[in-house]
Amino acid sequence: MKTLPTFTRRARWAVPTGAVALVAAVIAGSMVSAAAASPALPARTPAQLLAAFAANAGTPPAMTGTVVETADLGIPALPGAQNPTSVLSMLSGSHTINLWYADRQHARLALPFPMGETDLIRNGSTAWVWQSSSDSVERVVLPAAAAGQPGPAASASPPEAPLTPQQAAQRVLTAVGPTTSVTAGPATTVAGQDAYQLVIAPKDSRSLIGSVVIALDAGHPGVPLSVQIFAKGAASPAFQTGFTKISFGAPPAGMFDFTPPAGASVHTVTLPARPVSQSGGTPSPPPSPPGGPAVVGNGWLSVAVLPASVLSGLTGAGNAAGALGQAARSASSGPASGPGGPDSTAILGAVLKSAKPVSGSWGSGELLQTSLVSVLITSNHVLVGAVDRSVLFAAAEQAG
């Protein structure tokens, strides 16, 4: 939902555009509740549904709801994934998000977990990030220019928040084009609401994504009730995000009030105003960070190409070869943990246990494949995409 927090810079690097974004961003989702019989709804074509969504998505109605995420990507067990406050925990199992939304300046997300909770709150010109696990609060003072901008803390650094169905649907719909098939599925019911379904699928068989199914609320066409991503040939979704409960109407105003708990550490951040483009009026996007990913290919066949230095940064090794060697030794000796949990070398070592050596005209490396993601590690690059190995190999050839 545009009114909810965007990802941190680090998370945005991990979520490149197009099809890759749909997979690498799997840190949210849902258990979709559908009725046994399809409701009787007026017929709508895919074009009508897309047009209605585009016309209404920018002005969602006030609502309160519960979103539940389910992910089953076939990712190997990683050290730290059992910690409910870890981003890694979002890559498997089910997770819950409670949501309250009044308008563009008043929104709240609560991410409960055993023995704790993380809250992200936008209340006018102030945003709060409360993490009970560390008893810490980040207070974000938003610039005047951001008064009408979405999100509790668009440029701050809260923990990577799960995607709501609105965010997931918008990312999927950016892929709609000549490389994409769009059809209408049967009407359904999600969280007690009648809904139309859009079935979106890549035309190229080299994509690992079989289809994406979006349920749009029949009475509120700008509100996606659920998004399901199916791997190619799979009967059940590898990832899904949607509402299990939803009600429309403004939440109580007090829901957006927040007072730091006694004894909590409070850190205040004042965000600068976003720069204005020379053409006038429109905020300029922030420059791409150095060392971020390049993207090879388009749409469903996009491949993010990162420098191999990201591995040496994880492990502290001097180069990619040293990083891989260190990670391989960690994989052989078992995961190591420090005071803050498992270290990045242990995580990389666990990943490499499932990787296989591969080679081609581009050179040699390690290939990790899951139902929706392929990762190729070479001496020069780390390539990630929701594509089969041939597309990664071609991208590696192009990257040099």
More confident residue, 16 or 85: 85
Quote the percentage of the chain above a pLDDT of 70. Answer: 62
Q: How confident is the model at residue 276 (pLDDT cuts 50, 70, 90)?
A: low
The whole-number pLDDT of residue 354 equals 73
Range of weakest confidence among 7-21, 113-127, 332-346, 373-387: 7-21
Q: Are 19 and 180 in contact (CB under 8 A)?
A: no
- pLDDT (tens digit per residue) in 6-16: 333 333 333 33
Q: How confident is the model at residue 256 (pLDDT cuts 50, 70, 90)?
A: very high
* Whether residue 318 has pLDDT greater than 50: no
The whole-number pLDDT of residue 205 equals 93
How much of the chain is helix, strand and coil, in % rounded to 5?
A: 20, 35, 40
Range of weakest confidence among 138-147, 229-238, 323-332: 323-332
* Whether residue 56 has pLDDT greater than 90: no
Amino acid letter at 7? F
pTM of this structure: 0.71
The whole-angstrom separation of Cα 352 and Cα 323 is: 11
285 φψ region: left (φ > 0), alpha (ψ -120 to 50), beta (else): beta
More confident residue, 349 or 41: 41
Angle between helices 165-173 and 46-56 (to 10 degrees): 120
* Whether residue 165 has pLDDT greater than 90: no
Angle between helices 344-353 and 320-333 (to 10 degrees): 80
341-369: average pLDDT: 72
More confident residue, 267 or 81: 267
The whole-number pLDDT of residue 141 equals 92
Domains of the chain: 9-262 (2.50.20.10), 294-399 (no CATH)
128-154: average pLDDT: 73
* Whether residue 154 has pLDDT greater than 70: no
The whole-number pLDDT of residue 76 equals 53
Please report the beta strands in the chain, taking only residues with DSSP state E, as ranges in sequence order. 63-72, 92-103, 106-113, 116-123, 126-131, 136-141, 180-190, 193-202, 209-217, 224-231, 239-248, 265-270, 294-296, 303-307, 337-338, 341-342, 356-360, 363-369, 374-378, 381-385
The whole-angstrom separation of Cα 208 and Cα 230 is: 9
Rounded to the nearest integer, the mean pLDDT of the chain is 73
- CA nearest 203: which of 299, 111, 73, 289? 299
Range of weakest confidence among 179-183, 345-349, 391-395: 345-349
Range of weakest confidence among 56-60, 214-218, 308-312, 328-332: 328-332
* Whether residue 262 has pLDDT greater than 50: yes
* Whether residue 330 has pLDDT greater than 80: no
